[in-house]
Amino acid sequence: MSAKTILITGGHGFIGSNMIHYYLNKYPDYQIVNIDYNTEAANPGNMHCPNQKNRYAFHRVDIRNVYAINHLFEHYDITDIIHFAAETRSRENVGEIRLYEQTNVLGTMNLLYAAQSAWMDAAHQPKPAYKTARFHHISLMDSGHNTLYTLSKTNADEMIQSFHEKYGLNVVTTASPEIFGPMQQDDALVPLSIQQALDGKLEILETDGKERDWLFVSDLCEAIDTVFHLGDAGKRYETGSIARLSDKAIVQQVNALSNGDFPGNSLDTAGVGQTDVPIQSTTASTHQSQIPGFEPAIPFQTGLSITRDWYTEKYKYADLAKKQ
């Protein structure tokens, strides 16, 4: 595998940080430049890797700042981009709703133009040294629920595709469902439910019962890696999923796991368990992968157990630090 210098945006976020660790471990010849604006969705502690100083660097950069983006391309010989950075926070936490378009669309456009300038001699004519340079965009599978966030991501998807068609930039897109696993924000559904279960305060969720597709984060990393190296330019690939569950069913699975019961046989503890919780979470995807040579491998229950163990250790160390 030839050496690369990959710019990863949003690398202090949940998925971005998992992807960086995946690449640092799998590809010893790859260098990673991580940029993140470090909003509330970021956790710099996810990227504590002092032994990788010769291969990894971080810069606090807002992708809306075109000058900062251009400076990165002047400072580093960027060969590829994997673009995770996005405004994902709820409307209540964002404050200004224009941040969705500014970050997810205009910020993406800044990256596209910087890549075009660095890698292309002219439209459909890459520079000889950058014939394999690739812009990999991370997007969303259609959930059927339109929000300002999902609408802005759709606009970004369309812009990226038009960039490929008009200028010939080598772009690919990977679209995923809901993701869970280690290093997610503490207030997300799965880690929050795990923390409540560990504290003996798991809350009953009164929801509309709508179900969402789920995928474990290590499977997503493998999917992204496969598309990054083998995907056809201009194509969009959906990862598929390993479970389709409502939020209430997620809480029930966490409750069962916390009580030492086999997930799917939830105990009726604190009013959150049921004995007839339907769960589609075998290695057979509820939505099939569109990525040649890739299928999700981690069943939902296995991924949930891995995630529970990771957060148990995290909260244990946090408790010890408070007592010191």
What pLDDT does residue 287 have? Answer: 79
pLDDT for 246-269, tens place per residue? 999 999 999 988 877 544 444 344
What is the pLDDT of the chain when averaged over all its residues? 87
**Long-range contacts for 49-57 (Cβ within 8 Å, ≥24 apart)?**
49/21, 49/24, 52/24, 55/24, 55/28, 55/30, 55/31, 56/20, 56/24, 56/31, 56/32, 57/31, 57/32, 57/33
Of 167, 2, 8, 169, give the one whose Cα is nearest residue 83.
8
Q: Are 243 and 214 in contact (CB under 8 A)?
A: yes
Of 170, 12, 5, 6, give the one whose Cα is nearest residue 82.
6
Average pLDDT of the segment spanning 105-116? 95
Average pLDDT of the segment spanning 3-30? 97
What DSSP string describes 169-201? --EEEEEE-EEE-TT--TTSHHHHHHHHHHTT-
- Could you give the CA distance from residue 265 to residue 58 in angstroms, rounded to a whole number? 44
- What stretch of H or E contains 114? helix 107-119
**pLDDT-derived band at 101, boundaries 50, 70, 90:** confident
What pLDDT does residue 258 have? Answer: 81
Helices 148-167 and 107-119 cross at an angle (nearest 10°) of 20
What pLDDT does residue 269 have? Answer: 41
pLDDT over 90 (residue 318)? no
What pLDDT does residue 128 have? Answer: 97
pLDDT over 60 (residue 91)? no
Helices 247-258 and 189-198 cross at an angle (nearest 10°) of 40
Q: Is 58 helix (H, G, I), strand (E, B) or coil?
A: strand
Average pLDDT of the segment spanning 222-246? 97
Q: Highest mean pLDDT: which of 83-92, 144-153, 270-279?
A: 144-153
Q: Higher model confidence: residue 50 or residue 25?
A: 25
pTM: 0.90
- Could you give the CA distance from residue 59 to residue 198 in angstroms, rounded to a whole number? 35
Average pLDDT of the segment spanning 9-30? 97
Average pLDDT of the segment spanning 96-121? 89
Of the chain, the percentage scoring pLDDT greater than 70 comes to 85
